[in-house]
A and B are shown apart, each in its own frame.
Chain A
Amino acid sequence: MPPSRFPIPQGTLDMLVLQVLSLEAAHGYAIAQRLQQISRATVRINQGSLYPALHRLEQKRWLKAEWRQSETGREAKFYALTRAGHQQLAREKASWDQLTTAVRLIFNEGA
């Protein structure tokens, strides 16, 4: 395990999950794999915290879930974004952009 990987910042897991699911519906394992790939192993995601996040998002009505056949032919719980979920993702992206821009500005100022 390379030491360069840093733990995911508090609160960003939800945003990442929404982002992953904005492309297509997926089950928990697929989401975990996808997150792993996208982050190119630079972000350490505790897989155990993925499921509480999924349930939390489902209760907030940002995700909807249904049992469907997976690629292996077994039944799996697939999550998909709701309309509220898409809106939420857009909001989070915007505020994230604002934050990073602001931080970068401050860093450049100081340089």
Chain B
Amino acid sequence: MTKLLNLFRRRRDRLERDLDRELRYHVERRVEDMIADGLSEPEARRRASLELGGVPQVQEAVRDTWIWRWLDVFVRDVRYALRSLTKSWGFTVGAGAVLALAIGATVAIFSVVNTVLLRPLAYPDADRIASVETLWTNTGRASQAVSGPDFLDWQARNDVFEKMAVYYSGDTGGTDDAPVILGDRATFANPRYVSADFFAVFGQTVSAGRLLTESDGQRGEAAPAAAVARYQWAVTNFGSAEAAIGKKITLNGGPLEIVGVAAPGFRYPGVTDLWAPLTPDGGPNHRSNHDYHAVGKLKAGADLVRAQAQMRTIGDALARQYPQNRVKTVSLIPLQERLTGNLQPTLWALMGAVGVVWLIGCANIANLLLARAAGRTREIALRAALGAGSGRVMRQLLTENCVLAGVAGLAGLLLAWMLIQVVVAWAPADLPRIDEVRMDPTVALFALGLSLVSTVIFGLVPALHASRLDLSDGLKQSGSKATASKASTRLRSAMVVAEVALSVILLAAAGLLLRSFLTLQHVDLGFTTDRVLVAFTEHPLKDRIRFFADVLDRLRAVPGVHAASGVAYLGMGREPRPPRDYFIQGRPEGQPGERPQAEFHDITGDYFKTLDIPVLAGRDFARTDTPESPRVAIINEALARTAFAGESSVGQRIRENPRAPWMEIVGVVGDTRWQDPSQPAPPVVFRASTQGTGNSLSILARTSVDPTSLASTLRTFLYEANPTVPVKFETMEEMFDSTLAYPRFRTQVIGLFAGVAALLAAVGIFSVLAYLVGQRTRELAVRRALGASAANVVGLIMGPGLRLVAGGLVLGLAGALASARLLSGLLYEITPWDVSAYIGTIAVLGSVALLATLVPAIRAATIAPVIVLQQE
């Protein structure tokens, strides 16, 4: 490129020098003549310059003629390019569409990946913010959950962090909404309890009021605690940030006063509406309660490796100091990695897919251009024979390809823009920053540039060829078409094989993901999602038991309601409940960190009936299970199997900590996959919420009619029982659907790309064969005239085509098998060697390829020998 620029620069310099010399000569001669006529030299010089109208002005006027000349040639080249492109519109549309598809897909997916994975988080010095986590040395796994005393020790002993903070993500702090009363309105908000330095870690300032301070967290129960509101939330609920300041609200039944509104756009973690103060609990008994998530901002210049080493030392020292810390230490993970870590497999899979589409697209363009080049040998030889210099021919071909690439590039960007809308619409709603995805200008430029380069390189092949061409040879070739050289035919065949192979890999990947998705969709969850209405509510502790008992009784009396019950935690893609240690009466307690664990859930009677979960032994909770009666529990099959293998579990007694009352196991129920359908059921202990345990409940109702038709009735019951209780509805079906959001997203996008790849491969096969038919028209006509049947001709064309397809299939299957292991993390219950996925791949590609070979073959068979031979 620089070489070419230098060439231009040298040429321009020479022109300038010549012009300068020419004009100087003129002036000198004129001056000499006038001196000879008796003028003084200065006067002669003045007049000579005057006659010319000024030397610089003349130079400028001459330069103008150069530019006009250049523009003139350029316009003519563009016009010629357009004419030649429209003349072979089949090629133009084909190549343009392929380029546009390749650019569109690449730009769209890279824009998504760039926004979600690569672009730094939108906080000041975001690269210095780390998630500070508990590293369990027995399992080697890091967990975001940290305990208060651990955090305070980490904070006190390190010198690598500028600021550290914890936030509580307990039962009401996850993606679950908490009830908020704003004056006379009850609504939901997403609150987080955060320690004082939380905003400092993210470098945040307020847009109104003030941020939280250390003293906010230490105010007593009586005085309303302070809270900072999200900017958009404040504007929605109070009209403006300023108007929100000083407002008193009730959160989870406790009073709060809004003292500040965060800067617009800040909402970490997740989409937080309210940040309320928290003082981490450092009590010595809490070392095993991992209730917090911790973040920290490293000091400027402190690198992560050194910080990691120091924190590890601190964590190891704590492990020696406290028995509860025996199997844990500290780990640092950059916050960006923590937020996007589990998305990486999905997004890199998409990048891989789009990369393959891009490669196929390039191979296709090269193929089309080579085919065209072969067809134009004669035209170019003719132009050269008429006196066009090889530079001139080159320049004209260059213009032609730039016009093609430019138009296709613009179409590609338009397509990218549309694809981004599609991908964003398909994307799971909780994909971080998906709402920020825009077409990335850098990527757009890069893709355009790449398309230009690839088009130009392959487009220039005929020009290079022409410069080596023996002119008379090119002209002598009979008929309107010159035959392609053996080498270029071989190159084009190789490209078709590569295209087919690459699309087989992509189709196989799509097939595997689709199979996995279908398996996942039909997995036995252990409960029914059919016609179940879910009402999210939140009632304060006082009178809670009676409130829910009354509402549930009224609901059960409604015609069409099959069963109704309450549950404190619904799973279904919401933040998982951390499992807790359990103890069984008459067994040793075991060491902390090594005790068996189970999830504890609080439900009302009829819960199993509502969700159609089988009661395998014993009984369901009943009205007789009250706060005064002996504590009871029901366990699931997984727990019965792990804790009571072989013996009867009903009648045994269990509890969740050494100080809690024993609960008698009264029943065993079937396993359910609440959290994630791809994960087997964890051991679960159900407690009776009617005995006063656990949090507020959500209400479930299974109906014989459309469950949403029940919503307004239920809303009335709730309002009549307590007008300050907020409620919102969803169906179990919808909730289950959202748990499959990621697998569905992967399958859809990769499926789309596999389709595009197959299409491109078909275009490749078609173009090669169509060209072949064009080349051999005369030969085929002679064959027909000499008695070859139409079937013979079809075979003659399809034979080579199908050989290429077969070669590509074999290579592609080998490649797919080799690369399928990369997908195994994304597959559920099927192996990367799932036979039906590969059979599907072969079937899809085979039929597409058959069609792509059949069309040109039929065209060849319908050649009318008489007409063709008369033309020659």
Contacts and interface: CB of A to CB of B under 8 A. Distances in A.
5 contacts: A32-B26, A48-B51, A52-B58, A74-B28, A75-B21
A77 B61 contact: no
A67 B25 CA distance: 12
Contacts of B61: 48-49, 51-52
Nearest to A59: B69
Interface string A1-32: 00000000000000000000000000111001
A39 interface: no
Contacts of A43: none
B69 A51 contact: no
Interface of B: 18-19, 21-23, 25-26, 28-30, 32, 51-54, 57-58, 61-62, 64-66, 69
Nearest to A74: B25
B31 to A, nearest CB: 11
B392 to A, nearest CB: 12
Given A48-B58, A56-B65, A76 B25 contact: yes
A77 B52 contact: no
Nearest to B64: A52
A55 interface: yes
A59 B22 contact: no
Given A28-B22, A32-B26, A55 B62 contact: yes
Contacts of A56: 65, 69
B25 A77 contact: yes
B66 A29 contact: no
A59 B66 CA distance: 8
A100 interface: no
B26 A28 contact: yes
A51 B62 contact: yes
A47 B53 contact: yes
A31 to B, nearest CB: 10
A32 B53 CA distance: 14
Nearest to B57: A48
Given A51-B19, A59-B66, 14 more contacts: A27-B22, A28-B23, A29-B25, A29-B29, A32-B26, A47-B51, A47-B53, A48-B58, A48-B61, A49-B61, A52-B58, A52-B64, A55-B66, A56-B65
B52 A48 contact: yes
B25 A51 contact: no
Interface string A44-58: 001111011001100
Contacts of B57: 48
A36 to B, nearest CB: 10
The 5 residue pairs across chains A and B that have the minimum distance between CB atoms: A48-B53, A52-B61, A29-B29, A59-B69, A77-B22
A59 B67 CA distance: 11
Contacts of B62: 51-52, 55
A48 B28 CA distance: 15
B26 A29 contact: yes
Given A29-B30, A48-B52, A55 B21 contact: no
Contact of A52 (B18, B21, B65): B65
Contacts of A29: 25-26, 29-30
Contacts, number: 60
A28 B27 CA distance: 10
Contact of A77 (B21, B32, B58): B21
Contacts of A52: 58, 61-62, 64-65
A55 B15 CA distance: 11
Nearest to A45: B51
A108 interface: no
Contacts of B30: 29
A73 to B, nearest CB: 12
Contacts of A37: none
Interface residues of A, number: 20
A42 B110 CA distance: 73
B53 to A, nearest CB: 3
Interface string A66-86: 010010101111000000000
A28 B58 CA distance: 13
Most chain B CB neighbours (cut-off 10 Å) among A49, A52, A72: A52
A56 B18 CA distance: 15
A98 B57 CA distance: 36
B58 A27 contact: no
Contacts of B64: 52
A59 B65 contact: yes
A56 B32 CA distance: 28
A11 B18 CA distance: 25
A56 B70 CA distance: 12
Given A29-B25, A59-B65, A77 B18 contact: yes
Contacts of B58: 48, 51-52
Given A72-B29, A77-B21, A48 B66 contact: no
Contacts of B32: 72
Most chain A CB neighbours (cut-off 10 Å) among B18, B53, B62, B66: B62
A51 B64 CA distance: 11
A83 to B, nearest CB: 12
A55 to B, nearest CB: 5
Nearest to B27: A29
Interface string A83-109: 000000000000000000000000000
Contacts of A72: 29, 32
Contacts of B66: 55, 59
Nearest to A77: B22
A26 B23 CA distance: 14
Contacts of A51: 19, 22-23, 26, 58, 61-62
A48 B54 contact: yes
Most chain B CB neighbours (cut-off 10 Å) among A55, A67, A72: A55
A52 B23 CA distance: 11
A48 to B, nearest CB: 3
A51 B65 CA distance: 10
Contacts of A47: 26, 51-53
A73 B577 CA distance: 101
Contacts of A77: 18, 21-22, 25
B594 to A, nearest CB: 91
A76 B22 CA distance: 7
Nearest to A53: B65
Contacts of B26: 28-29, 32, 47, 51
Nearest to B72: A59
Contacts of B22: 27-28, 51, 76-77
Nearest to A76: B25
Contacts of A75: 21, 25
A76 B23 CA distance: 10
A29 B26 CA distance: 5
Most chain B CB neighbours (cut-off 10 Å) among A28, A47, A51, A74: A51
Nearest to B70: A59
A51 B58 CA distance: 7
Most chain B CB neighbours (cut-off 10 Å) among A29, A48, A56: A48
